[in-house]
Amino acid sequence: MSDTAHPTAADTTGTGGDTGGDDITSRISTFVTDRFPQAELTPTQDIFALGYINSLFAMELVMFVERAFAVTIPNEELSIDNFRTVESMSGLVGRLRPAVAAG
């Protein structure tokens, strides 16, 4: 298996004034479409409704999000709704990342 979807250290630091929401969305979308190239995926597309996702890939999604964005997903956030769409995963990352822009 290839680990080409893993970010560089610079991608996960969370430094800078911008949360990088577009980058987060793009990277999550790329991760999913790399696994399922036949999927036509939009940020609001329910990836579970596409029929490609099984429990193993759901765990891969959790691990990808944690590694790629340097976050730890607490048990209470391990809800299918947080992983149903690229947009919901991006929102989860935004909530879990340290609030570097908060003042």
Evaluate whether residue 24 is within a structural domain: no
pLDDT in tens, the chain (103 residues): 444 433 333 333 333 334 467 899 999 999 999 998 988 889 999 999 988 788 899 999 999 999 999 999 999 999 999 999 999 999 999 999 875 444 4
Domain extent, residue 103, equals: 43-103
Q: Is residue 95 a part of any domain in this protein?
A: yes
Q: How many angstroms separate the Cα of 85 from the Cα of each of 37, 58, 88, 102?
A: 16, 12, 5, 26
pLDDT of residue 16: 35
Single pTM value for the model: 0.74
What pLDDT does 13 receive? Answer: 35
What is the model's pLDDT at position 20? 60
Predicted local confidence at residue 54, as pLDDT: 87
Task: Provide the domain count of the chain.
Answer: 1
Q: Name the one residue in this structure whose structure tokens are 């997903």.
A: 73
